[in-house]
Amino acid sequence: MEKEIGKIKKNNNTDIVLRIDDFGGKVGLTIREFSNSEGYKGFTKSGTRIPLESLEDFKKMISEIDIEELKSLAPEKKEDNYL
């Protein structure tokens, strides 16, 4: 059993993929990096797995993230002005 939830672009060569899968007979959420580079195309070793029994706790933690607070902590991007 495998169901892709979605992808988030990390950079030009890498996506972060979320999927529900069955690993060793246990269902869970896998969050892995997928490389699209010239040298390698496929899942990397980078990532983590959240077991089904911890998924509700994970969802609760994610829902408590304050996006506006995170934005206020991020350094501002300065655009170069060319004359």
pLDDT at 80: 53
CATH label of the domain that carries residue 66: 2.30.31.10
Q: Which residue in 5, 2, 24 sits closest to 16, CA to CA?
A: 5
Structural domain includes residue 79: no
pLDDT tens for each residue of 2-34: 899 999 999 999 999 999 999 899 999 999 999
The whole-model pTM stands at: 0.76
Structural domain includes residue 81: no
**Domains contained in the chain, number:** 1
Q: Name the residue range of residue 39's domain.
A: 2-73
Structural domain includes residue 82: no
pLDDT at 1: 78
